[in-house]
Amino acid sequence: MRSAISRYGARVLPNTEQLVAGCKARGEFIQGPQIAEFEAAFARRHGVDPSCAITASYGRMAFYYILKALDLPPGSEIIFPSLTFWVVPELARVAGLTVVFADVDPKTFTIDPDSVERLINGKTRAIVPTHLYGLPCDMDRLLAIAGRHNLIVLEDCAHALGALYKGRPVGTFGTGALFSFQTLKPLNCYGGGLALVRDPALARKVRQLIDALPWPSEKRVRDRLLMGRLQRIFVKPWVFSISLFPVLWISALIDANPDVFLWEKIRSLHPLPDQYTERFPNAQAIIGLEALAHFDTWTAQAQANAQYVTDTLRGIPGIQVPMVPLDRTHVYYQYCVIGPEGPKRDELVVRCVRRGIDIETLHVDVPPDMELFGTVRAEAAGARRCAQALQIPAYCGLRRDQLERVATTVRDVLAEAAAAASSPP
Ligand SMILES: *Cc1c(COP(=O)(O)O)cnc(C)c1O
């Protein structure tokens, strides 16, 4: 039997165990010099002072402490895209702000500046452009709007480390930015995050807040690394075929959501869970530091894979391959196409899954449609359209033969559907 191809591929260093064992042997598992080295290397990549890159327990907490350091008046409004990971707006609420959701442009999946502008009022204080799936937002327009209305811009770079807008890396355009180092994110440290802050005085405040937190216990960090290893094993092609894949296969038929095995429960994050309010440990920093050395190679591979899929799918009627404006680069954290909607889309997914290619449909969320957010001010028509996308595996860890199998299978399934749609019944 041919193995199934998983929707996710974690980026894993072959020497992870040795790096961690070395930390332990030196008595630097929790506190150690690699934290500052990692921050400095990250800052260097972005052309900022080392003091302006501050590691945190999660990407979301990096964001939270930037908000705390900014000390915006309670009830200030902050605008998010209506297609994003729900935890980020949720933490803005924990920080005392009112969240508002602007629509996204279905061509790029990123926040629509016109929608942002429509939602601005006297209470608006900040905008959070999410460089979704690895494509930078339209920063010139967003910065112009922010300038006109005196708003702070905080970039969500969880998907987009290494992506460029007009030659400049994302994370360097706003007042601050968050990066995530979760297992499936572009730079995998098995968890953790980083705040990149432009102004050294603001960076000092963020660092003070984070430095005041306790260190995690050794057990917590050991469990986290183990959990990362399990997630990683779980999505390896051969294990995936015999464990998770049948679950996906069946749930594709019965329309269940199997992601409960990988993702966290949607819930209020007030009060903050314990593991949120801790510091980023050295054992994870050393993994990040080493991973940075491989990072550009990984990105180039993901981009080459994406190009291959695009070349294979181009020209199929009714299918929109990723659109990359000429002034940006896409790092393809996820590769998404927009095709048919509703039951037709679901049927395509089932057909791909049956042929051993796992297609995900919505990697992030449409928070305005979540009960957690109740009645928020939102524009979300474009986000709902994007939520109908097909997410095709094109990650850098795919072998060439796997990539070809993905691309040709998806092409055949889409082309069959397009032919059926255009022929009379
Ligand atoms: C993963 C993610 C984050 C934050 O990640 P953490 O899990 O908090 O490190 C933020 N925004 C988006 C869009 C994400 O996908």
**d(Cα 338, Cα 317) in Å, to the nearest integer?**
11
Cβ of residue 57 lying under 6 Å from some atom of ligand 1? no
% of the chain beyond a pLDDT of 90: 76
Q: Whose CA is nearest to atom 13 of ligand 1?
A: 85
Residues in the chain: 425
Using the mean position of ligand 1's atoms as its centre, give its distance from the Cα of residue 404 in Å: 30
- Find residue 104's DSSP bridge partners: 111
Domains of the chain, each with CATH number or no CATH:
16-211 (3.40.640.10), 233-260+293-420 (3.90.1150.10)
**Which of 107, 80, 105, 110 lies closest to 92 in space, CA to CA?**
80
Residue 236 has a pLDDT of 63
Residue 175 has a pLDDT of 98
Q: Which of 137, 185, 272 for mutating ligand 1's site (highest number of atoms within 8 Å of CB)?
A: 185
Residue 74 has a pLDDT of 87
Using the mean position of ligand 1's atoms as its centre, give its distance from the Cα of residue 355 in Å: 31
Tokens standing for 232?
Answer: 């990683």
Residue 248 has a pLDDT of 62
**d(Cα 386, Cα 336) in Å, to the nearest integer?**
9
Using the mean position of ligand 1's atoms as its centre, give its distance from the Cα of residue 85 in Å: 6
Residue 262 has a pLDDT of 55
Radius of gyration of the chain (CA): 21
CB 65 within 8 A of CB 210: yes
Q: Given its phi and psi angles, is residue 329 left (phi above 0), alpha (psi -120 to 50 degrees) or beta? A: beta
Query: Coil, helix or strand for 21?
Result: helix
Residue 261 has a pLDDT of 46
Q: Which of 80, 87, 135 for mutating ligand 1's site (highest number of atoms within 8 Å of CB)?
A: 87
Cβ of residue 60 lying under 6 Å from some atom of ligand 1? yes
Q: Whose CA is nearest to atom 9 of ligand 1?
A: 59
Residue 247 has a pLDDT of 61
Residue 252 has a pLDDT of 57
Residue 363 has a pLDDT of 78
Tens digit of each residue's pLDDT, the chain (425 residues): 467 888 888 898 989 999 999 999 999 999 999 999 999 999 999 999 999 999 999 999 999 999 999 999 988 999 999 999 999 999 999 999 999 999 999 999 999 999 999 999 999 999 999 999 999 999 999 999 999 999 999 999 999 999 999 999 999 999 999 999 998 899 999 999 999 999 999 999 999 999 999 999 999 999 889 887 777 666 665 556 655 666 666 655 555 554 444 567 888 999 999 999 999 999 999 999 999 999 999 999 999 999 999 999 999 998 999 999 999 999 999 999 998 888 888 889 889 988 989 887 777 899 999 999 988 999 999 999 999 899 999 999 999 999 999 999 999 999 998 888 887 66
Tens digits of residue pLDDT in 330-369 = 999 999 999 888 888 888 988 998 898 988 777 789 999 9
Give residue 360's Cα distance to chain centre.
Answer: 14
Using the mean position of ligand 1's atoms as its centre, give its distance from the Cα of residue 396 in Å: 20
Q: In the block, which residue shows the tokens 């260097």?
A: 44
**Which of 389, 387, 380 lies closest to 82 in space, CA to CA?**
380
Q: What is the largest CA-CA distance in the chain?
A: 71
Residue 260 has a pLDDT of 43
Cβ of residue 131 lying under 6 Å from some atom of ligand 1? no
Q: Which DSSP string do the residues of 239-276 spell out, in sequence order?
A: HHHHTHHHHHHHHHHHT--GGGGTSPPP----SPPGGG
